[in-house]
Amino acid sequence: MSMAVLILLLLAGGVLAWQSERINPNLPRWVALGSVVGSLVFLLLSIPADQPVHLPNPGNPNDWMLYLKIDWIPRFGIAFELAMDGLSLLLVVLTLLLGLIAIASSWSEIDFKPGLFQANLVWTLAGVCGVFLAVDLFLFFLFWEVMLIPMYLLIAIWGHENKTYAAMKFFIFTQASGLLMLVAIVVLAWQGLASTGQLSFSYLDLLGLELDPRLGYWTMLGFFLAFTVKLPAFPFHTWLPDAHTQAPTAGSVLLAGILLKTGAYGLLRFCIPLFPEASMEFAPIAMGLGAAGVIYGAILAFAQSDFKRLVAYSSVSHMGFVLLGLYAWNQLALQGAVMQMVAHGVSTAALFMMAGALQHRLHTRDMRRMGGLWHQAPRMGACAMFFAVASLGLPGLGNFVAEFLVLLGLFAVQPGLAVIAALGLITAAVYSLWMMQQAFQGTPDEQRKMPDFDTREMLAMAAMMLALIWLGLYPQPVLDLAQPVLDGLQQLVPGADTVTALETPANNLAGGGL
Amino acid sequence: MGGLQIPMEHVLVLAGLLFSCGLLGLMLRRNIIFMLMSLEVMLNASALAFVAAGARWGEADGQIIFLLILSVAAAEVAVGLGLVLQIQRRFKTLDMDQARRLRG
Amino acid sequence: MASVALIPLLPLASAILLLLSAGKMPRHITAILGAGSVGLSAVCVALLARAFLADGDIVQATLWTWMAVGDFTPRIAFYIDGLTIVMMSVITGVGFLIHLYSIEFMWNDESICRYFAYMNLFVAAMLLLVMADNLLLLYLGWEGVGLCSYLLVGFWYRDPNNGKAARKAFVVTRIGDTAMILGLFLLFTELGTLDIQPLMAAANSQWQIGETLPILATALLLGGAVGKSAQLPLHTWLPDAMAGPTPVSALIHAATMVTAGVYLIARTYELFLLAPPTQLAVAWIGLATLLLAAFAAMAQNDIKRILAYSTISQIGYMFLALGVGAYASGIFHLVTHAFFKALLFLAAGAVIHCLHHEHNIFRMGGLRTRLPVVFWSFLIGSAALAALPFSSGFYSKDAILLSAWELPGIGHWLWAGGLLGALLTGIYSFRLVFVVFFGQAHREPDRQPGWKMSVPLVLLCILALSGGMLVLPLAQVFPAAAPHEASHIIEYISIGTPLLGLLLAYLMFLGHQLPADKLVSTAGGRSLRDFFQAGWRVDQLYDALLVQPFTALSHWWRNEPVDRIYNGVVTLSQWAHHKLTASQTGELRWYATTMVFGLVLLLAIMLRNAT
């Protein structure tokens, strides 16, 4: 029940924040903050202490940490079915924490209808939490759409100069691919009906379904497209730079920090386990797209002069690693992909907050008009440096652990692709340092007056720095949380695990074309 | 009594002619009032066919439908004339080729 | 023995404190904290070294498991043997002297706090690098020192050229680092561990000498070493890295960080023994680099660039030593080089400091009497660099050349190349001395170095002179080398060559019997000089081959070529929209007519189907 309460708390918090504007324009942000903190505390209190000691089977309701099923449209086998395991817990906590960061980053930025703004923010969080918790595919699709609409409004109403175009592009890309997923969901449910005689949209019932290979492949593609558009993977990423550039700071933080992760989560939770054979057949293409994204995003990031656009392309590059890790489908690579979801969420959220702070102060995102900012704002410079080197994968910070594990896992499967993706480490250094040079180093404009980070902003930044250092030096808690889930998912997919890859390394190496 | 006194075909041909007149009028006239009148003619043509058919089969359905058509026509005239007044006021003309604000 | 963690932790804590103070800490506290933490660290290393020399026990300490995913369980753990002790002593000892020197050198800089924070961070990262028990932790230190190098080269960030040099240093070394990380992937995938000692044991038991896999793995590791140690073909970043403050050049770009590649190869030497082709490549790379850099050093005018090229050249000697299997000699040269090159850089820094940031040696001159302490330091440093007899450099370089001579097969060629390098070293190092300290004075120094600068200079002088007597505790680390059996002739030749270089430098730059100007005045001479001065134009080559295409490509793609596909869809639907709206005329009659025709058509179809 606690999961439903969590989502309801957020939805109600949004309504309350919206209406509280009538009392005082400063109230909504406090209400929003309160509802997110409240949900977080509530969630942490309701986690059961005991976890299954055996290898969890995702098809068994008792193997989940929390499980809730309420009939909704029983006639079609649709239920309000939520479930939580370590992976969802991790992502929900990340969502709520980044929600706090998003609220903090827009604390004094919004003058127009602050109530509605905060409401949309919190509703997005509710939608994302729903996506991470739903295990009924129909419900999942519902939440998938729910998180889309408030995000669309955030961009379309509070965005920058070209907001309508960006919001529309974001909406159409996500919506069109989402419809493909809906079709795939319905096809899958009908297949379930045909083979078991019972219509059900439940993930637990549909797992392990025997599918006609051809049909399975096409249905898998429906899911894959929806999730890779969201991820985003090359070549479906073009909505992202526009949406990020035009979104208000809080919108960019949410978009980069958590909305992209729903795509990765969908691939990991639904796309690969539901269609194991088709996915393994498709894996080389998916990994190719991932590697292409790593390189392509990095090259384009280097050419940008807009701070936010640069960070947006760096996201494309980093999410390529997630795709590589997921389809390499061994323990190391999967853990790496999960780590990347968390670490990239934090580091990119921080960089977007930085971009928002710069825009708020300088009224431009164009780095050609910055330069030498370190002189005026050393705290901002230091923070930017920290997150820039985090994003280029400096060991000791979370992103390195993620990228290292992904590449290490990938190397056992596809050494050639690992080499190509490793080139992304070089290009990441090129664009990150170029960003620092353009914005913070160089000759300062002595005329420019600009305030440095204040205490609120420094607190948010310090929290994210500590999180990245923690993830980089002692990632074990995160790894332990995800490990049973990944083991459970891996046993569903035959024919791909690290053990065999390690036992016959020479063959793999020879086959990989290194 | 009972039955139709004149051949059925004659009535149907007449109804068809009337209907075609109405249809042509609707397609060719530009004045909205004439277009409305053409519609009335078409309605009446079909009503005539109903009445004739009712008489032919000795059933009351024909007359019932005739009454229905009558009331529909009355309603249509009421709405139509209201539209005519509005069109006259807005466009200062009754020529429907001039009133083409729906053009894409 | 987890207390060894204190050694890197002290500078790290100081760095964090300094960073958190955000420049608000008073200058003298900054200085005490910055230099003191490294000093304390040095004391700890000294205690550790005393204990080690007494009992010779290898110290191992595990702090925690970094991450555990299946079989992959790298730990934050230290492994301290003789090699590590040597490296740690150099890092903290020379590091402390340079920190002390920095207090005076950087006293008037507004960002002294940031400076010491970065320097301390560097020392901590470098210590982690050498103390690491596994290659992943080593990689952490490896990238950490790279970051600090980037930060310190670009320390004076207002000049975009410094930023460019810093980025170049980071990116070029990152290319090597990426090769190295691929090497780590390969090693783990094949051998199932990254802990250095078990790794080497596993390699010895699973691989045969000369197999493809060890060759590939060592080649990838060598890529990392080549990048970090500025060897061919990734050496181009080091001369530009001189944009940083001079003590930084002394610490990072002469004494410690750039020798990390040498350390890496020495640390994993058992892998290299399994891969003779890579081993040979190490020797050839070392030889080629030492010659190339020595020629380039002769044509430079900037005092720091001369020293930078000479550093590249000397590391070339170390690689040569590693390549011929004389690991202990390589490390010995690393140590003596740390002494005399740090000394030279600090002395050069003193010259620059006292001459208003003058870098061009031809605008100096006659400083022998004006800056006596600096002159003697420089002279001793140059003597050691040129390997004049009885200086520290003599012992280490001599050992390398002898080992090269004794290598069967190509050994004589390597020896001859090394000897030519020694001749060139003699010429360029004394060219520097003669031009800067003798002859006519062009500028007057406006101050004298104070005690904080002089004391490190004097101490380093002593080390540079007597460093040759040191006996490094490397006997247990490397296989024992056979005693040298070369004839005395070879010995005399290697003693005589640097003296010949000294003589030539005297004739060319002081006595003017062989004036260098005349040599350069011919067209061929000038173009040769320009060629050497531009570092054999390797930079231009890379610029044309890599940098320009990359920038061009990224600017060509800048506006998102993929979006054209989606824009095509948009254009298509807009076109269809225009075409289809043509049917919406707004004319009522048109609608009525089309409706009629549509109905007729439908009726016709239905009738046709009905019959």
What distance in Å separates the CA atoms of residue C577 and residue C18, rounded to the nearest whole number? 64
R_g over Cα of chain B: 17
What distance in Å separates the CA atoms of residue C293 and residue C230, rounded to the nearest whole number? 10
Residue C161 is given by DSSP the state: H
pLDDT at C559 over 70: yes
Cβ contact B26–C592 (<8 Å): yes
Neighbours of C171 (CB within 10 A): 21
Q: pLDDT at position A507, please?
A: 40
* Cβ–Cβ < 8 Å for C113, C155: no
Q: Using a CB-CB distance cutoff of 8 angstroms, which residues of chain C are in contact with residue A509?
A: 189, 213
Q: pLDDT at position C470, please?
A: 82
* Cβ–Cβ < 8 Å for C537, C531: yes
User: Residue A363 class from Cβ within 10 Å (0-12 exposed, 13-18 middle, 19+ buried)?
Assistant: exposed
Q: Using a CB-CB distance cutoff of 8 angstroms, which residues of chain C are in contact with residue B27?
A: 589, 592-593, 596
Average pLDDT over residues C489-504: 87
pLDDT at C116 over 90: yes
What distance in Å separates the CA atoms of residue B57 and residue A202, rounded to the nearest whole number? 60
Neighbours of B30 (CB within 10 A): 16
Neighbours of C416 (CB within 10 A): 15
Tell me the sheet residues that pair with A136: A202
Cβ contact B35–C582 (<8 Å): no
Q: Using a CB-CB distance cutoff of 8 angstroms, which residues of chain C are in contact with residue B35?
A: 588-589, 592
Average pLDDT over residues C307-316: 93
pLDDT at A514 over 60: no
Q: pLDDT at position A337, please?
A: 93
| E-assigned strand segments in C168-311 | none
Burial pattern A53-71, b for ≥16 Cβ within 10 A else e, equals eeebbbbeeebbbbbbeee
Task: List subunits contacting chain A, requiring 3 or more Cβ pairs under 8 Å.
Answer: C
User: Residue B104 class from Cβ within 10 Å (0-12 exposed, 13-18 middle, 19+ buried)?
Assistant: exposed
Q: Which residues contact C126 (CB under 8 A, 6 or more apart)?
A: C91, C95, C141, C144, C145, C256, C257, C260
Nearest to A394 among C143, C175, C555 (CB): C143
Q: pLDDT at position A266, please?
A: 93
Neighbours of A323 (CB within 10 A): 30
Q: pLDDT at position A498, please?
A: 40
Q: How far is CA C78 from the centre of its chain?
A: 23
Q: pLDDT at position C120, please?
A: 94
pLDDT tier for residue C436 given thresholds of 50, 70 and 90: confident
First and final CA of chain A: distance in angstroms? 52
Closest CA to C311 of C288, C281, C287, C342: C342
pLDDT at C2 over 80: no
Q: How far is CA A345 from the centre of its chain?
A: 6
What distance in Å separates the CA atoms of residue C134 and residue C124, rounded to the nearest whole number? 17
Q: Report residue A364: phi and psi, to 5°.
A: -155, 155
pLDDT tier for residue A209 given thresholds of 50, 70 and 90: confident
Q: pLDDT at position A506, please?
A: 41
Q: Using a CB-CB distance cutoff of 8 angstroms, which residues of chain A are in contact with residue C125?
A: none
Average pLDDT over residues B8-37: 91
What distance in Å separates the CA atoms of residue A24 and residue A117, rounded to the nearest whole number? 14
Report CA dihedral (A97, A100, A102, A105) to the nearest 10 degrees: -130
What distance in Å separates the CA atoms of residue A94 and residue A343, rounded to the nearest whole number? 10
Interhelix angle C276-298/C523-533, nearest 10 degrees: 120
> Which alpha helices (DSSP H) does C355-410 contain, by range?
367-370, 372-385, 392-406
Q: Which residues contact C90 (CB under 8 A, 6 or more apart)?
A: C255, C256, C334, C335, C338
Q: pLDDT at position A509, please?
A: 42
pLDDT tier for residue C420 given thresholds of 50, 70 and 90: very high
Whether the ω angle into residue A232 lies within 30 degrees of 0, i.e. cis, is yes
Neighbours of C150 (CB within 10 A): 28
Collapsing DSSP to helix, strand or coil, C376 comes out as: helix
Of all residues in chain A, the percent with pLDDT exceeding 90 is 55
pLDDT at A306 over 80: yes
Q: Nearest chain A Cα to C118, which residue?
A: A382
Interhelix angle C135-153/C160-191, nearest 10 degrees: 170
* Cβ–Cβ < 8 Å for C172, C227: yes
Consecutive H or E run containing A216: helix A213-230
pLDDT at A97 over 50: yes
Cβ contact C587–B97 (<8 Å): yes
Closest CA to B59 of B70, B67, B50, B68: B50
Q: Report residue C80: phi and psi, to 5°.
A: -120, 110
Note if the pTM is more than 0.90: no
R_g over Cα of chain C: 31
- For A499-511, write each residue's pLDDT tens digit: 334 433 444 443 3
Instruction: Using a threshold of 3 CB pairs under 8 A, tell whether chains B and A touch.
Output: no
Q: Report residue A312: phi and psi, to 5°.
A: -60, -45
* Cβ–Cβ < 8 Å for A103, A33: yes
pLDDT at A152 over 80: yes
Interhelix angle B8-28/B32-57, nearest 10 degrees: 160
Any C CB within 8 A of B30 CB = yes
Nearest CA to CA, how far is C588 from chain B (Å)? 6
Any C CB within 8 A of A458 CB = no
| E-assigned strand segments in A19-155 | 66-73, 78-84
Average pLDDT over residues C66-92: 91
Any C CB within 8 A of A299 CB = yes
- For C262-271, write each residue's pLDDT tens digit: 999 999 999 9
pLDDT at A52 over 70: no
* Cβ–Cβ < 8 Å for B28, C597: no
- Top mean pLDDT of A70-74, B67-71, C472-476, C547-551 is at B67-71
Closest CA to C334 of C404, C267, C254, C236: C254
Cβ contact B26–C589 (<8 Å): yes
Q: pLDDT at position C486, please?
A: 66
Q: pLDDT at position B2, please?
A: 56
- For B27-73, write each residue's pLDDT tens digit: 888 888 998 999 999 999 999 999 999 888 888 998 999 999 999 99
- For A166-208, write each residue's pLDDT tens digit: 999 999 999 999 999 999 999 999 988 888 888 889 888 888 8
* Cβ–Cβ < 8 Å for A324, A406: yes
Q: Which residues contact A21 (CB under 8 A, 6 or more apart)?
A: A27, A28, A113, A114, A115, A116
What distance in Å separates the CA atoms of residue C243 and residue A148, rounded to the nearest whole number? 50
* Cβ–Cβ < 8 Å for A154, A253: no
- For C160-190, write each residue's pLDDT tens digit: 899 999 999 999 999 999 999 999 999 999 9
Closest CA to C265 of C249, C284, C251, C278: C278
* Cβ–Cβ < 8 Å for C437, C376: no
Tell me what the pLDDT averaged over chain C comes to.
89
pLDDT at A107 over 50: yes
Cβ contact B100–C596 (<8 Å): no
Of all residues in chain C, the percent with pLDDT exceeding 70 is 99
Residue C80 is given by DSSP the state: E
Whether the ω angle into residue A61 lies within 30 degrees of 0, i.e. cis, is no
- For C261-310, write each residue's pLDDT tens digit: 999 999 999 999 999 999 999 999 999 999 999 999 988 888 999 999 99
Of all residues in chain A, the percent with pLDDT exceeding 70 is 95
Nearest CA to CA, how far is C278 from chain A (Å)? 18
> Which alpha helices (DSSP H) does C438-562 contain, by range?
451-466, 488-505, 516-521, 523-533, 538-542, 548-556
Nearest CA to CA, how far is A433 from chain C (Å)? 7
Q: Report residue B59: phi and psi, to 5°.
A: -110, 155
- Which CA distances in Å does C354 have to C84, C347, C366, C443, C583? 37, 11, 14, 10, 86
Q: Using a CB-CB distance cutoff of 8 angstroms, which residues of chain B are in contact with residue C583?
A: 104
Nearest CA to CA, how far is A324 from chain C (Å)? 15
Query: How do strand C75-80 and strand C59-65 relate by DSSP bridges?
Result: antiparallel
The lowest-confidence range among A155-169, B23-37, C200-214, C467-481 is C467-481
